[in-house]
């Protein structure tokens, strides 16, 4: 049924006047030749808003029905990688034709945002169980325990690594102005491997790794950098060393000989190490200084690493919204991770 023609303002006023004069809906309908339902709607509007003209509408009617929205939300919850075009095709099959922009707006209005999927280690069931055991074992540790942990890891920093993603403000047809470009070379222009460590008290030494690291080189790195870092950071007695189970980290006898307590670490768990936050911070800082060669890159990395202590303390103790000391170290992201691990096991 098509839309009916709206009543004029004069006719609406006459309906209200007749109603005020005591005339009933049916009699007004017969006198003015207007449907009873329309008479009732106009009089109810007048009683509620004291007006007969149309009230301002909130905007164009929604193109997607509540049922269609529910279908979209159910789909993206079950299959987060679903594209806007796939959702548009599903709605079209149900009788609703909308563009991808409308679908994107609807999802954002319901709390969803389009983000790059995070890369995480491929976990077997044994890895999942080990990670959950680690989380449960440390869940009730006191904050003083985490202050005694010295975290470590290696990372590769490329000469032109993060520079390639820099954003610039430019005008049309000025994309290749030298001021609006960043230099790129194959394989990042070369890179440097670093070993580093830190605790709640700040960063330790940052060591450049030259050549292929094996067990002997790793033990040398620990001898020349781990022990001095522990002294510089005033770790005191009973501190705990954290490193992952990389095959080249063969230093069990050396650590035992030097009376260094080692934290048990679950396999395939680089994302649990809070030093990853510092590596990211370091790479962002280095990219801003735009090193031009590997010598500059090493110098700038060590300078910026030494400036990070206030940031690393912030990462350790101010990112939590939970009283758990474990979450004081790992933050919200790993609170969710522990929850997901439990789901996978169950």
DSSP 104-138: HHHHHHTT----PPPP-----HHHHHHHHHHHHHH
Does residue 316 sit within a domain? yes
Question: Do strands 261-262 and 240-242 pair parallel, antiparallel, or not at all (unpaired)?
Answer: parallel
CA distances to 134, 146, 173, 201, 281 from 150, rounded to whole Å, are 17, 9, 51, 9, 18
Residues 159 and 24 in one domain: no
Contacts of 228 by beta carbon, 8 Å cutoff, 6+ apart: 204, 205
Residues 102 and 242 in one domain: no
Does residue 54 sit within a domain? no
Provide the pLDDT for residue 289: 87
Residues 157 and 226 in one domain: yes
Residues 92 and 200 in one domain: no
Provide the pLDDT for residue 329: 37
Q: State which residues form the domain around 24.
A: 9-49
Closest to 273 (Cα-Cα) out of 221, 308, 315, 302: 315
**Distance, CA of 328 to chain centre:** 18
User: What mean pLDDT, rounded, does the chain reach?
Assistant: 80
Does residue 194 sit within a domain? yes
Residues 87 and 197 in one domain: no
Does residue 84 sit within a domain? yes
Question: CA-to-CA distance for 183 and 188, rounded, in angstroms?
Answer: 10
Provide the pLDDT for residue 2: 45
Provide the pLDDT for residue 166: 60
The predicted model scores a pTM of 0.59
Residues 98 and 133 in one domain: no
* Number of separate domains in the chain: 3
Residues 139 and 247 in one domain: yes
Where among 110, 133, 163 does a domain terminate? 110
Question: If you count them, how many residues does the chain have?
Answer: 346
| 202, burial (CB in 10 Å: exposed 0-12, middle 13-18, buried 19+) | middle
Residues 182 and 227 in one domain: yes
For 133-162, what is each residue's pLDDT tens digit?
888 888 888 888 888 999 999 999 988 766
Residues 170 and 199 in one domain: yes
- Dihedrals phi, psi of 118, to nearest 5 degrees: -70, 140
Does residue 144 sit within a domain? yes
HSE (CB half, 13 Å, CA atoms) of 233? 27
**Distance, CA of 76 to chain centre:** 17
Residues 94 and 179 in one domain: no
Continuous segment of H or E residues that includes residue 198: strand 191-199
Does residue 2 sit within a domain? no
Does residue 78 sit within a domain? yes
Question: CA-to-CA distance for 159 and 300, rounded, in angstroms?
Answer: 11
Which residues are registered as beta bridge partners of 199? 202
Provide the pLDDT for residue 330: 40
* The token pair that represents 25 in the structure block: 């809906």
For 82-133, what is each residue's pLDDT tens digit?
899 999 999 999 899 999 999 999 999 998 888 777 676 677 888 888 888 8
Give the CATH number of the domain where residue 134 resides.
Answer: 3.30.420.10
For the chain, the straight-line distance linking the first and the last C-alpha, in angstroms and rounded, comes to 54
Regions of the chain with pLDDT less than 70: 1-4, 57, 118, 120-121, 161-169, 182-189, 270-271, 309-346
CA distances to 200, 239, 313 from 147, rounded to whole Å, are 5, 8, 10
Q: Which residue has the tokens 């009283």?
A: 323
Does residue 116 sit within a domain? no
Is 134:263 a contact under the CB 8 Å cutoff? no
Provide the pLDDT for residue 240: 93
Continuous segment of H or E residues that includes residue 102: helix 100-109
Residues 132 and 101 in one domain: no
Residues 313 and 196 in one domain: yes
């Amino acid at each position: 049924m098509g839309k009916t023609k709206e009543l004029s303002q004069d006719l609406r006023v006459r309906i209200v006047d007749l109603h005020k004069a005591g005339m009933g809906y049916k009699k007004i309908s017969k006198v003015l030749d207007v449907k009873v339902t329309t008479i009732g709607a106009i009089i109810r509007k007048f009683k509620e808003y004291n007006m007969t003209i149309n009230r301002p509408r909130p905007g164009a009617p929604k193109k997607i029905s509540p049922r269609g929205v529910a279908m979209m939300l159910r789909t993206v919850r079950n299959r987060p990688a679903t594209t806007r075009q796939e959702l548009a095709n599903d709605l079209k099959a149900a009788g609703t034709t909308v563009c991808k922009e409308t679908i994107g707006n609807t999802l954002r209005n319901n709390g969803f945002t389009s983000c790059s999927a995070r890369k995480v280690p491929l976990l077997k069931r044994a890895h999942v169980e080990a990670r959950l055991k680690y989380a449960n074992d440390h869940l009730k540790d006191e904050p003083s325990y985490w202050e005694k942990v010295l975290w470590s890891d290696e990372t590769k920093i490329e000469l032109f690594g993060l520079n390639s993603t820099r954003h610039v403000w430019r005008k049309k047809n000025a994309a290749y102005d030298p001021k609006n470009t960043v230099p790129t070379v194959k394989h990042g222009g070369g890179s440097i491997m670093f070993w580093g460590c830190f605790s709640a008290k700040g960063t330790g030494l940052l060591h450049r790794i030259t050549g292929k690291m094996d067990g002997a080189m790793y033990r040398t790195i620990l001898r020349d950098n781990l022990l001095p870092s522990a002294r510089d950071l005033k770790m005191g007695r009973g501190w705990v060393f954290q490193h992952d189970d990389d095959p080249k980290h063969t230093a069990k006898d050396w650590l035992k000989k030097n009376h260094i307590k080692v934290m048990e670490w679950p396999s395939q768990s680089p994302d649990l190490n809070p030093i990853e936050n510092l590596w990211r911070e370091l790479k962002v800082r280095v990219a801003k200084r735009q090193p031009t060669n590997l010598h500059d890159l090493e110098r700038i990395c060590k300078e910026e690493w030494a400036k990070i202590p206030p940031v690393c303390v912030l990462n350790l103790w101010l990112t939590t919204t939970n009283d758990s000391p474990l979450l004081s170290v790992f933050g919200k992201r790993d609170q969710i991770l522990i929850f997901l691990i439990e789901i996978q096991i169950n």
